A and B are shown apart, each in its own frame.
Chain A
Amino acid sequence: MSPPRKLLIIGGLGLAVWGMSFGLWYALFDEHQTLERMGASLTTGFVRAAERNLPAAHAAIDQYAAAKYE
């Protein structure tokens, strides 16, 4: 096996294992929490609007946007 092929095969499979390990960590420790944060802040934004508290509504939507961008 030529050195570039060695590097590409080992590197590619290493990247795949890294990506899947990150995915497992994300699914266990971050995904649900982030989704909950997004849902809660978006709901809060509309609930505050229903209570006629527009500054709080806008702040909650900013939190939603930040959580989604993460």
Chain B
Amino acid sequence: MAQHQTMSSTAAASASALASGSAARLLVIGGIALIIAGLIFGDIFAVFLLHQNAERIGENLLAAIRAVAAGDPAAVSRHFANIGRLLENRGTKVDTHVHVIDFGYLALLLALLQSYVALSEQWRRRLAKIFLVGAATLPVGVFAIYYLRLAYSPLPSIGWGSIVADFGGLLVILACTGTLLGLWRYVRGPRVATEHELLQDRSWGGRVLLAGGTLLILAGFLHGLYYAARDLERLHASEAAILKSIVQEAATNNLPTAEARVNDYGMLQAEKGVKIAAHSHIIEFGLLAMMLAFIQPYVYLSEHWRRRWVVVYLAGSVILPVAVFLELYFGLLAGGVADFGGLLVILALFGMLAGVLRHTGRIDAAQGVAA
């Protein structure tokens, strides 16, 4: 009973912030949807493209060194053109994944700031729509870069995919600049200082997400510090040294050694990729946990289910980066566990989104009755 009353009072307090058609509602729902879309895209990319792509790059590199040994520069160029296309395919997919999720984070952040943005609700809604259109346009453009290439492009080296992506980025920048202007007006204006009701939430879920998020970010920073101090220079120097060794051995027809060095090169790239991915994922999940902490009053579910989704989210946030790091030692087994971690995060976000939608539906129904 007490729990129900607490939840009802929190939900009632946040009702005004998430009113029908408000900028905050657009940004909260849009933000969570963007993050879920980005995570699902990332999981699909990891399962169906990442490892296959790396394998094909390795095959083309091996073919290139055989062409070097055979003294065939034309074949070398052909194989490197293939590698370039494979890298572009991989790079644009990673960029799509990262941008969708990061725009989701930014949407949640902007939603939390709405009560401090000293603009009319009409303008705040307009800025939220511009932001969401840009946030959807940029990743679609980035994804299309690999497929559209330079077809019908008015520019010599930038295709339509990039142009569309850059336009999307410009819309997001405009929306953020508008919000910043509104914040500036709030700070400079003669407004009475009020505490945003959502920032006052002290529920169990909010506290656990804030503490968990802070710990995840701290772990990510410490890992980054260790990586920068111990690995960064070594990996950078090793890359050039291995490449020189590959061409040296291939040019002197010592193919077994050259192929062994290609294997070393693959391991080096895997080490870099895995360490950077573990570092970025743990920090991003930490940031997301902190933002989810602030939207807990919007999650209209029983306290039991709210706690369950918080635990599932934090479990996935730890499992995914740790398993990604362990891919260096356990290969695809760890990759599978990482995908499972990603799935937990997605499930938790779906659960919280369902709670937010229930909350908005309740507000709309109440407004309908009042009308």
Contact = CB atoms under 8 A, between A and B. Distances in A.
Interface string B178-195: 011001101100000100
Contacts of A16: 106, 176
Interface stretch (B16-24, B205-213, B245-253, B331-339): B245-253
A24 B169 contact: yes
B93 to A, nearest CB: 15
- Interface SS majority for chain B: helix
B73 A51 contact: yes
B172 A20 contact: yes
Given A20-B173, A50-B68, A58 B247 contact: yes
Contacts of B365: none
B157 A17 contact: no
Contact of B71 (A13, A33, A50): A50
Interface string B112-131: 01001000000000000000
Contact of A13 (B170, B183, B251): B183
B157 A65 contact: no
Contact of B173 (A9, A21, A58): A21
A58 B165 CA distance: 36
Interface of B: 64-65, 67-68, 70-73, 76-77, 80-81, 84, 106, 109, 113, 116, 157-158, 162, 165-166, 169-170, 172-173, 176-177, 179-180, 183-184, 186-187, 193, 236, 239-240, 243-244, 247-248, 250-251
B179 A13 contact: yes
Contact of A23 (B106, B169, B176): B169
A15 B186 CA distance: 19
B67 A50 contact: yes
Contacts of A14: 180
| Nearest 10 pairs of A and B residues by beta carbon | A49-B247, A65-B240, A43-B80, A49-B251, A50-B73, A47-B73, A50-B68, A57-B247, A49-B68, A46-B76
13 contacts: A2-B193, A16-B106, A16-B176, A23-B169, A28-B158, A46-B76, A47-B77, A49-B68, A50-B72, A54-B247, A54-B248, A64-B240, A65-B240
Nearest to B173: A20
Contacts of A61: 240, 243-244, 247
Nearest to A52: B251
Nearest to B79: A46
B247 A13 contact: no
Contacts of A62: 240
Contact of A52 (B71, B177, B180): B71
Nearest to A43: B80
Contacts of B179: 13
Interface in A31-62: 32-33, 36, 39, 42-43, 45-52, 54, 57-58, 61-62
Given A6-B187, A10-B183, A50-B72, A42 B80 contact: yes
Given A1-B187, A24-B169, A24-B170, 12 more contacts: A13-B183, A17-B173, A17-B177, A27-B162, A27-B169, A39-B80, A43-B77, A48-B247, A49-B248, A49-B251, A50-B67, A52-B71
Contact of B247 (A32, A46, A65): A46
Contact of B251 (A1, A17, A33, A54): A54
Given A10-B187, A39-B80, A51-B71, A1 B165 contact: no
A60 to B, nearest CB: 9
Contacts of B239: 65, 68
Contacts of A32: 157-158, 162
A58 B244 contact: yes
Contacts of A46: 64-65, 68, 76, 80, 247, 250
